[in-house]
Amino acid sequence: MSKPDTTPSGWLETRLPIVSAFRREYVDFAMPRNLTYLWNFGAFATIALALLIVSGIFLALNYTPSVAEAFNSIEMIDRHVSSGWLVRAIHMGGVSMLFAALYVHMARSLYYGSYKAPRELLWLTGLGLFILVMIAAFAGYILPWGQMSYWGATVVINAMNAVPLIGPALASWLLGGEGLGSVALHRIYVLHFVTGFSIVGVIVLHVAALHVVGSNNPTGVEPKASDDVVPFHPYYTTKDGLGLCLFLMVYAALIFFVPDLLTLANNYAMANPLVTPGDITPEWYFAPFYAILRAVPSKLGGLILSAGSLAVLFAVPWLDRSRVKSARYRPMLRWAILGLFLTFIALGVAGMHKPTGLWLAISRVSVAYYYAYFLILLPLLPKIEVTRPLPASLRGESV
């Protein structure tokens, strides 16, 4: 037993071992040595979230959640609060960057089988996080009380009303009884930041789950020997740091040079309950789900398909029974999953257009393939595919 540590950090360590915990989890933690840059995106998402929370708090200092004042308070932030335009830009840009990082992060997990045993809970907590992020984003978008805010909220709340049994009650709780007005806005405001803070808590669970089982890697072969792994610091701190700089460069280019690229200009007009804008489109990150919603003529059917597209993701660890994790070694799945990614992108583009003619056809085909991938291909492929031989260790075939 070493002699008692009399330094200040030693004092802290005996009372709350955060120093050693930090060292164990974020310095010495063993990571597979072959992770690509695709493994950086969880860290990017965390940084985007941190920026969203900090900018959100500072925006909250100047925002008023009432129908009369919401739009004006945001204009005040944008025009007259010192550096308010920048705080707002960081917040608006942060949402797009967060969703972008999350989509890549989830795609990585689907491709490399990071949802398979023993990482099922990691996948489930991650999906829970994604749903919380969607709720927070939806609520946050209503707050400026622009045309798109109001009518997007109207569409979603009407969709919520269509859910059997619990729908009308949920919608009524959200609205506070009357139609979409100050009471609803105030509740949505509280929903927005409570959800945001909850996300931080669930991230703790997600990372804790990760640290029990360790990261997956591009081969899907678990580390077996000590030279399969490297310590998180300095290897992945530097790799994450480099990736983060590139991520932040895209973020900065977005908010400083093309701020109107991803925002819907119509939201700069104050909400008018009597006039619906010609084209209601959601923000780009919700477009795929919006396309699914409008792919079928039935209101409830569209809702079921759209919610189902998320629900089916929860079942993925049990739908896919292949023992081979990584799509690198599953040639048939590789094509199928690339098709899935293209389908999702197609749904996104279709969601930004009116659901007629070609776009409707694309939506329908895409929804069909999306469900076919999860419900048919994933369970079926392990039975019929020929996988490439797995390498002996994650260091690759050469060893």
Partner 1 sequence: MKRYLLVTLMALPLTAQASTPEQRGFQVYRQVCATCHSLNQVHFADLTGIGLAVPDIKAYAASHQVPDGVDDDGDPKTRAAHLTDPIGSPYPNEAMARLANHGDVPPDFSRLAMTEEGGAKRIETILRSYAPKPVDVVLGPGSYYNTAFAQNHIGMPPPLRDGQVAYADGTKATIPQMAQDVGAFLDWVAHPHRVARSDTGLVVLAYLAGMTVLLALLKRRVWKRLKESRQ
Partner 2 sequence: MSRRIASLLFYLGSGSCFDVDTFLWPPDDHFILFKQDFMTQDADRPTSSPSCPLPGGGTRRRDVLSTVIVGAGCVGACALAYPFLDSLNGTKNTTLGEDDSIDVDIAALRPGQQLVVTWRGWPVFIQRRTPEMLASLKATDIVQHLRDPDSKILQQPKDAMNWHRSVVPEIGVLIGICTHLGCVPSYATPSANDKAGKYSCPCHGSQFDAAGRVYKEAPAPYNLPVPPVTMLSATQLRIGQSKGDPAFSIASIQQI
- Tokens coding 180: 């979409």
How many CB atoms are located within 10 Å of the residue 211 CB?
14
Residue 193 interacts with, from partner 1, partner 2, none (CB under 5-8 Å by kind): none
- Does 325 qualify as catalytic in the annotation? no
Helix (H) or strand (E) holding 230: strand 229-231
Q: Which of residues 84-103 bind partner 2 (CB under 8 A)?
A: 84, 86-87, 90
Residue 349 interacts with, from partner 2, partner 1, none (CB under 5-8 Å by kind): none
Q: List, as one string, the DSSP characters of 14-33.
A: HHSTHHHHHIIIIIS-EEET
Distance (Å, whole) CA 341 – CA 370: 9
Distance (Å, whole) CA 171 – CA 153: 11
What is the nearest approach in angstroms of partner 1 to the Cβ of residue 355? 20
Q: Is 252 in the site for partner 2 (CB under 8 A)?
A: no
Residue whose CB is less far from partner 1, 26 or 268: 268
Q: What are phi and psi of 112, to 5 degrees?
A: -95, 5
Contact (CB, 8 A) for 54 and 260: no
What is the nearest approach in angstroms of partner 2 to the Cβ of residue 171? 35
Q: Which residue among 91, 192, 239, 325 is the active-site one?
A: 239
Q: Is 4 in the site for partner 2 (CB under 8 A)?
A: no
What is the nearest approach in angstroms of partner 2 to the Cβ of residue 225? 9
Residue given tokens 């992060």 in the structure block: 105
Residue 235 interacts with, from partner 1, partner 2, none (CB under 5-8 Å by kind): partner 1
Q: Is 259 in the site for partner 2 (CB under 8 A)?
A: no
Residue whose CB is less far from partner 2, 10 or 273: 10
- Does 240 qualify as catalytic in the annotation? yes
44-83 footprint of partner 1 as x/- string (CB under 8 A): ----------------------------x--xx-xxx---
- Tokens coding 34: 């072959």
- Does 239 qualify as catalytic in the annotation? yes
Q: Which of residues 194-233 bind partner 1 (CB under 8 A)?
A: 227, 230
Closest CA to 48 of 59, 56, 58, 60: 56
Q: Is 82 in the site for partner 2 (CB under 8 A)?
A: yes
Contact (CB, 8 A) for 224 and 393: yes
How many CB atoms are located within 10 Å of the residue 152 CB?
22
Q: Where are the alpha helices (DSSP H) in the chain?
A: 8-15, 18-22, 41-60, 70-79, 84-112, 120-142, 147-161, 167-175, 182-213, 237-257, 287-293, 299-314, 316-319, 331-351, 357-372, 378-384
Residue 2 interacts with, from partner 1, partner 2, none (CB under 5-8 Å by kind): partner 2
- Does 149 qualify as catalytic in the annotation? no
Per the DSSP assignment, residues forming a β-bridge with 230 are 31
Q: Is 397 in the site for partner 1 (CB under 8 A)?
A: no
Q: List, as one string, the DSSP characters of 188-199.
A: HHHHHHHHHHHH
- Does 283 qualify as catalytic in the annotation? yes
Residues of this chain that interact with partner 2 (CB under 8 A) are: 1-2, 5, 7-10, 20, 24, 27-30, 54-55, 58, 61-62, 76-77, 80-84, 86-87, 90, 211, 213-214, 223, 226, 229, 231, 233-234, 241
Residues of this chain that interact with partner 1 (CB under 8 A) are: 33, 72, 75-76, 78-80, 85-86, 89, 227, 230, 234-235, 238-239, 241-242, 245-246, 248-249, 252-253, 255-257, 259-260, 265-266, 268-269
The residues annotated with a catalytic role in the active site are 211, 215, 239-240, 283
